[in-house]
Amino acid sequence: MNKTGHISTSELAKRGGVNLQTIRYYERTGLLPKPPRSGSGYRQFSPESVRRVRFIKRAQELGFSLKEIKELLALRIAPGSTRAEVRKRAESKIQDIDGKVEHLRAMKKALVQLTDSCCGNGPASNCPILESLSLDKERK
């Protein structure tokens, strides 16, 4: 960050933990707002952009696509969207999250069982426990 309080593209990339080109890609696709430019055309990102980039990466690791992440980032009362409408979209995202947490919990339980009992002290076995991980409710 220089004395003007802005950071360069490569600095944002470094601090956000992504490739330089990825920053420009995010800008092109609207995930990052277009930053102001210096006289010679250099991008001037605000230091807060770092948090945004990290948020994007983290959300991706949680299985959200860039499109979904854009929706998440758009969740605010902008001109043209009512509070009720924003609330509805947010609640649907919350449900997505709850679903993910539930599946992760089931997965963890299976893994804990694997380490605890199956790999405890008993005799070696095949223990295909993950495949019995069935939240599936057999909808046919």
Partner DNA sequence: TTACACCCTGTACTTAGGTATAGAGTCAAG
Partner DNA sequence: CTTGACTCTATACCTAAGTACAGGGTGTAA
Q: Which does 67 bind (CB under 5 to 8 A by kind): a copy of itself, DNA, none?
A: DNA
Positive or negative torsion for Cα 73, 75, 77, 78: positive
Q: How far apart are CA 51 and CA 55, in angstroms?
A: 6
Instruction: Identify how many contiguous H helices and E strands the chain contains and give both numbers.
Output: 5, 0
Q: Which does 9 bind (CB under 5 to 8 A by kind): a copy of itself, DNA, none?
A: DNA
Q: Which does 118 bind (CB under 5 to 8 A by kind): DNA, a copy of itself, none?
A: a copy of itself
**Looking at beta carbons only, is 37 or 58 nearer to a copy of itself?**
58
For a copy of itself, the binding residues (CB under 8 A) are 15, 48, 50-52, 54-55, 58-64, 72-73, 75-78, 83-84, 86-87, 90-91, 93-94, 97-98, 100-101, 103-105, 107-108, 111-112, 114-115, 118-119, 124-136, 140
